[in-house]
Amino acid sequence: MYANAFLEGARGHFDTLQRAWNDNKLEVMQEYLSIELYNALAEERRSYGSEEINSSVVFIDAELVRADHSMLNAEVSVKFTGKTRDEGSGQESDVAEVWHLERKLDQANSPWLIVGIEA
């Protein structure tokens, strides 16, 4: 049951991050990403300048593909599959990526942070 709730949350976060990317809201993205991944994605997003990005998630599915833990961290990998649509052209693109997330176990209420994305 916990896995289903976690994956439902992951699908929501995928959509939230897609909208934040479109709207160039780096501060929203920062809440979900490790510092290293945030810096890399923020630099990539800045390379678009003021170019408008208007894509939406048509549908997204999430599957837990790995779960592990150590004394300090919990680690999971979530595979996303689905489609996004460029609202300007109407063109759809397949989504197939794996997000690697970590959570500090030695800190109360530590959030899950995305530490890597494989496309």
Q: How far is CA 119 from CA 1, 78, 99, in A?
A: 28, 12, 9
Q: What order of strands is seen across the sheet that includes strand 55-69? A: 55-69, 73-86, 92-104, 113-118
Confidence of residue 12 (pLDDT cuts 50, 70, 90): very high
CA distances from 11 to 26, 50, 56, 103 (A): 19, 27, 13, 18
- pLDDT by residue (tens digit) across 59-83? 999 999 999 999 999 999 999 999 9
The yes-or-no verdict on residue 1 having pLDDT over 70 is no
Mean per-residue pLDDT over the chain, rounded: 94
CATH number of 2-118: 3.10.450.240
pLDDT tens, 32-52? 999 999 999 999 999 988 777
Q: Are 114 and 32 in contact (CB under 8 A)?
A: yes
Residue 98 and residue 65 in contact, taking contact as beta carbons nearer than 8 Å = yes
Please report, for the chain, the start and end positions of each structural domain, with discontinuous segments joined by +. 2-118
